[in-house]
Amino acid sequence: MPVISTRWLIVGVAVGFMLIVFEPAFATSSAGMPWEDPLDKIQRSLTGPVAMVVSLLGVLVAGVGLIFGGEMGDFTRRVIMLVFVISMIVSASTFLNAIFGSTTAIV
C-alpha cells in the first residue's frame, strides 16, 4: 500500500510542477501583431450599419445619375461609375455575410 501512495505523490508533484512551469501555455491569444487592432477597426467600420446605408445611398444616387443623367461628359460618367463600384464593394461584405454567414472564403 505505501508503494501506491508514493507513486501517486510522485505523479501529483510532477503534475503540479508541469502546471507551474508551463503556465504561459495557458495564456490567451490576445497578444497579436500590432497592426491587427487598426485593421479590425477598419473592418468593423466597413461592415457596420452606417457603411451599409451609405453604400445603398451611393448605389441609388449613381443609378439615378446614370438613368436620368442625359448628356454628361465622359469624366462625369466615369465618376458616377466609380461611386457605383465603390458602393457595391462596401456592401458586398454585408451581402456575403447574409447569404453564407461569413465574409471570408475558405480555401
Residue 67 lies in a domain: yes
Residue 106 lies in a domain: no
Higher per-residue pLDDT: 39 or 5: 39
CB neighbour list of residue 86: distance below 8 Å, 6 or more residues apart: 55, 58
DSSP element (H, E) containing 82: helix 74-100
Give pLDDT, residue 107.
45
Residue 16 lies in a domain: no
CA distance 3 to 11: 12
* Statement: the pTM of the whole predicted model exceeds 0.75: no
Residue 37 lies in a domain: yes
User: Domain residues for 69?
Assistant: 33-100
Measured from the Cβ of residue 62, the count of other Cβ atoms closer than 10 Å reads 21
Residue 5 lies in a domain: no
Residue 26 lies in a domain: no
Q: Is the pLDDT of residue 33 over 60?
A: yes
Q: Which amino acid is at 32?
A: G
Domain count, the chain: 1
Residue with cell 490576445: 30
Which among 1-5, 21-25, 42-46, 102-106 has the top mean pLDDT? 42-46
Residue 1 lies in a domain: no
